[in-house]
Amino acid sequence: MQALQIPDVRDFMTKLLTTEIFDTFLVTETTLTTFTTFRMDGSFHADYYDSMDTDEETKKPAPSPLWKQVRPFFLYLVKGKYTPLNFKIVFRLADYNTEKLLAQSGVGLHTQDIAGLYLNILYDGKNISCTTGTSVRVFTLDRSLDRAWDDMIGKFLRQKGIPYVVH
């Protein structure tokens, strides 16, 4: 697990809400507080859509909606005269990207051993922090998955031009 502070809140918010940078992440949970609190539990109701709305790689219905599906609604709730009091977004790496990470990093786990690779984004009204997290289905003392995920998030943010400070 790694905690990252985002120094340029305005730039990060612009990239999060108006670009496709985070669109391939699954959204497992959101909470947004403006004049009231809006919560989304991340459950995906595939029967709402037709068969063309499936996971791009596996062609199966996604377990949670993608950020590209949630982002317009989140943006609508955030836009306006007032800044949100706070929000929390929990992203999960899609399974096909988890497979890629395992293959590239040489971590000795299988995709089915991993419950999720998470990126938590927290805004407290002034600051944005991102925290990485891993959840595995098997007992292991090996932290190589944690290190590989932390490294991948660092590279991802640098490639997208998002500065951060490790805490």
Side chain identity, residue 11: D
The DSSP H or E segment spanning 38 is: strand 37-40
For the chain, how many structural domains are there in total? 1
Q: How far is CA 123 from the centre of its chain?
A: 14
167 pLDDT exceeds 90? no
Q: How far is CA 60 from the centre of its chain?
A: 20
- d(CA 112, CA 39) in angstroms, rounded, equals 29
pLDDT given at position 128? 98
Q: Which of 41, 31, 26 is nearest to 119 (CA)?
A: 26
User: What sign results for the dihedral spanned by CA atoms 48, 51, 57, 58?
Assistant: positive
Model pLDDT for residues 14-58, shown as the tens digit of each residue: 999 999 999 999 999 999 999 999 999 988 777 776 655 555 555
The DSSP H or E segment spanning 87 is: strand 86-92
Query: Is-above-0.75 flag for pTM?
Result: yes
pLDDT given at position 59? 56
Model pLDDT for residues 53-110, shown as the tens digit of each residue: 555 555 556 678 999 999 999 999 999 889 999 999 999 999 999 999 999 998 888 8
Expressed as residue numbers, the domain containing 139 is 3-166
